[in-house]
Structure 1
């Protein structure tokens, strides 16, 4: 009986302890800012690719009793490409989840050979969040880039915030290229361009693939085929003189790269994907392609690898493609 009572009291003690442990901790209000303060968030995810933007949100605030915001600027370790700028409007999100802009200064000026973007405030304000868009330049490929955000206030104070370094991809990107059966059907990975037969004949060493559409057999439909492939996979095609490259292809489904798919989906192809994909013993043709399919490509000289995404197809014999290219 004593043993049973001991077990009972022990159980009660455990339950009381558990209830105490599960009590919600008291919420402590954050300390209000007492000086010029800043913070920064990188909004862009995925690989940083030349010609595409890296977007940041730069927040700054100062107590009203100490003054107001005067200017803000961003300095990049590598000058940004055309279109790089610091937004002169602050944003807030309304109840519907929509970002609403409020003009707080003059449009940004670019100085120091494109490294710095500066906004001067033209309204009295104590807090703002500015967007910064950095266009990755070609010369940054394979390097790292860092950013220093800073804000100045009317009391003579300065606050700064460093972001990075961020790796810049070695890939190049080209989007929304239209290919059509029998006309603009010749694809160059090196140029990331589409050519007709006349233009292709002038640069045979640059032509890696031929686009064609065949309704029959039904297993063929849309295809990307090497000029050097067996004639079985080039039915009815008369190749321009000199086209003979044998390019390796690997068909894939379910790999809708966000950048190539015009910001749909949440998948990214990165440098490591292009360098690590196994192209051993792959064929020199890919048929039966459809919208949202993709093809890994390795050129005959092994100079380039690419990922070609099929944005859309048309049963009349055309398609829209986008590609990422990596120099080996």
Structure 2
């Protein structure tokens, strides 16, 4: 019993020392620096795709008695896309935002709308401001595909002092993406991965070498004995697949590609699905894709499922995400990510 209490004594002393140390190190609010400061974070997530936007939050501040902020600007190493409607392209916000109790953004205008010329986007503040955070949106141009882009954020105060911060480099994906195409049985049922487009039979007949997938809807197909009944419903099938997987389909002349297909469940890429899932397919996923066990058909497809695809010439790999299916109208809404392999 004595030994037991002796072994407990060091632990008690450590707790006592820790308690005393905590009392000595009372927390104090840090003193604000007497200087013009800035900081920046990247808000957007996932692969950086052409025609999508990178989003940043740029914060600037100086002590109130040292002047006010008069301007801010961002210089991109590759000019971003500029749209006629400013907020659709590359721009620097002229409003500051706060969030209310419901999580909604509340805007206060602090500057004139931004202007973008070449690499440079800038705003001039119109209110007396000594601390503000502005959002910057960069719409990725085609010229940046597969390249790296950097950004230099800077601000100027009323005394001519400047601060700056460099962000990046950020790699721009080599992938392409198309959202919300509709394929319909017996009408627009032919899909080209090369074109990222859907076609009717008449249109497919003019470009047979570009057709990689056929969409069809069949409620139920009974195979000859002893094969079991197959539930088709919504299906994506290679033109070269066994005709049993293309019941009632007469392919246009020359449409004969043997596309590799891998059916996948629960891979809800956020950029394709635009749902809450934090999953992103990037270039590396396509580069590492193993198609050794692929078939050339996928039947009974459902909403929020998808298929990996490799074209017959192996030039393209793609992920076709199924946003929604409709049994009544016999169609699917799909979104596609694609990478050109060579």
Taking structure 2 as the reference length, the TM-score comes to 0.91
Which of residues 285, 302, 311 is equivalent to 1:290? 302
Stretches of structure 1 lacking an aligned partner (at least 5 in a row): none
How far does the alpha carbon of each residue in 1:138-178 deviate from its partner, in whole angstroms, 9 at most, with x for none?
Answer: 22111111110000100110000111111111101000001
- For residue 98 of structure 1, what is the aligned residue in structure 2? 104
Give 3-state SS (helix, strand or coil) of 1:161's partner. strand
How far does the alpha carbon of each residue in 1:110-135 deviate from its partner, in whole angstroms, 9 at most, with x for none?
Answer: 01x2x111011011111111011111
Is 1:21 the equivalent of 2:18? yes
How far does the alpha carbon of each residue in 1:69-128 deviate from its partner, in whole angstroms, 9 at most, with x for none?
Answer: 1000001111112301111111122233322111000110001x2x11101101111111
How far does the alpha carbon of each residue in 1:13-42 deviate from its partner, in whole angstroms, 9 at most, with x for none?
Answer: 421312433675532312213111100010
Is 1:277 the equivalent of 2:289? yes
1:21/1:219 CA distance change after superposition, 3 Å = farther
State the shift of 1:198 in Å: 1.1
**Number of matched pairs:** 323
- For residue 65 of structure 2, what is the aligned residue in structure 1? 65
Give 3-state SS (helix, strand or coil) of 2:270's partner. coil
Distance 2:187 2:292 in 1: 31
- For residue 79 of structure 2, what is the aligned residue in structure 1? 79
Distance 2:33 2:109 in 1: 24
Which of residues 185, 193, 207 is equivalent to 1:189? 193
Distance 1:177 1:26 in 2: 61
1:19/1:268 CA distance change after superposition, 3 Å = farther
Taking structure 1 as the reference length, the TM-score comes to 0.95
Task: Note if contact 1:91-1:128 (Cα within 8 Å) is conserved in structure 2.
Answer: no
Runs of 4+ in 1 over 6 A off after TM superposition: none
1:207/1:261 CA distance change after superposition, 3 Å = same
1:9/1:280 CA distance change after superposition, 3 Å = closer
Is 1:255 the equivalent of 2:252? no
Distance 2:231 2:77 in 1: 51
Equivalent runs, 1:53-202 vs 2, <5 Å: 53-82=53-82, 83-111=89-117, 113=118, 115-202=119-206
